[in-house]
Amino acid sequence: MKDVLNLAEEKMNKTINNLKNEFAAIRAGRANPSVLNKVLVNYYGTPTPVNQMAAVSVSEARVLVIQPWDKSLIKEIEKAIQASDIGINPSNDGSVIRLTFPQLTEDRRKEIVKDLKKYGEEAKVAVRSFRRDANDKLKVMKKNSEITEDDLKHAEDKTQKLTDKFTKSIDEIVSEKEKEILSI
């Protein structure tokens, strides 16, 4: 019984972490090195993340500076950034690459907030699906006489409390990111 609850909690935690990672990659008009997390550069035939081949820093509120350890990789890094979906054109001065994040328009902010809410809802659906799976497994255990009716009710209550806790956490994460986007 505890295995079922622990597995459900583990999966719910992964959902929260995935949501946080997804939100970290959302461009909010402010320079944030995490937007480069999904950008892979062809490094001698191997797709390699930018942060493993260059120092990435924020020089100003809206400017990200990428300083490759191997200067010959500047063109490759620039090409990978242009091919990615971050939507910013890099500028390079021969030794560093600069990404200047444009100021967000009000319409774009509202669009981003709508996307945030969609991601949040998808995360809640995933959490509820883990609750359903856990409850189904518990009912099978009850049917096979592995647990009693009281154990089943107690475990279902625990599963519901877990679900409520993670759903609330998702709402807080979405709300926090929404405030960040709208306050820029």
Q: What is the pLDDT of residues 19-72, one digit of tens each?
A: 988 887 776 667 778 778 778 888 888 888 888 888 888 888 788 898 988 888
pLDDT at 45: 82
Domains of the chain: 2-24+105-182 (1.10.132.20), 33-100 (3.30.1360.40)
Q: How far apart are the first and last CA of the chain?
A: 47
SS3 content of the chain, % helix, strand, coil (to 5): 60, 15, 25
Segments of the chain with pLDDT less than 50: none
What's the angle, vertex CA 19, arms to CA 16 and CA 20, rounded to 5? 90
Distance CA 118, CA 132 (A): 21
Q: How long a stretch of residues is the chain?
A: 184
pLDDT at 82: 86
Is 158 in contact with 40 (CB distance < 8 Å)? no
Q: Which two tokens stand for residue 117?
A: 């809410």
pLDDT at 11: 93
Distance CA 45, CA 162 (A): 44
pLDDT at 28: 66
pLDDT at 33: 82
SS3 category, 136: helix
pLDDT at 119: 92
Determine how many CB atoms are found less than 10 A away from the CB of residue 80: 21
Amino acid of residue 26 = I
